[in-house]
Amino acid sequence: MNYKLYFIFIYFLLSIFTTCMAQSGSYGRITYASAVNIAGRQRMLSQRMSKAFILQVSGYQDASIQEELKTGIKIFNDQLNILARNTQDTLILNALMKVSHLWKDYQKLLTTTPNKARAILILNQNSYLLDLCDKVVQRIEENL
């Protein structure tokens, strides 16, 4: 009877250990959890930059809004590079390449003089960029 309890206990410990190891896997030089957080932050940044641009079009020329836009662009670029450098998965890399392609055009719009016509373009592209960033998160989560 003691052997049965012993084997059940060992099985239980191995199950916990295996689950923990699977969830703490690495995404290149960072963890999957970090990759998911970074990719999720890309979605938030796309929204924040869009908001800052539209605020400028609306007449808010506050330095903090311009700084938010400038900082958002830098962080988005840095994080996109981190995600691309650390993946070995073809599906994730393809999703990141789609984000990168759209991001180039989107970033150019963000750095132009704000006006209503560009704000409409920003809003249209923002929805698409948000969707592509979400697909990156989904692809990374599928690899957990």
Rounded to 10°, the helix 90-110/116-142 angle is 160
pLDDT digits (tens, 9 = 90+) for 68-80: 999 999 999 999 9
> Distance (Å, rounded) from C-alpha 46 to C-alpha 87?
21
Per-residue confidence (pLDDT) for residue 28, from 0 to 100: 84
- Token readout for 127 is 């929805």
Name the fold adopted by 2-142: de novo design (two linked rop proteins) (1.20.1440)
> Using one digit for the tens of pLDDT, what is the confidence trace for 4-25?
655 565 655 555 544 444 445 6
Q: Delimit the domains of the chain by residue range.
A: 2-142
pLDDT at 35: 93
Classify 62 in phi/psi space as left (phi over 0), alpha (psi -120 to 50) or beta: beta
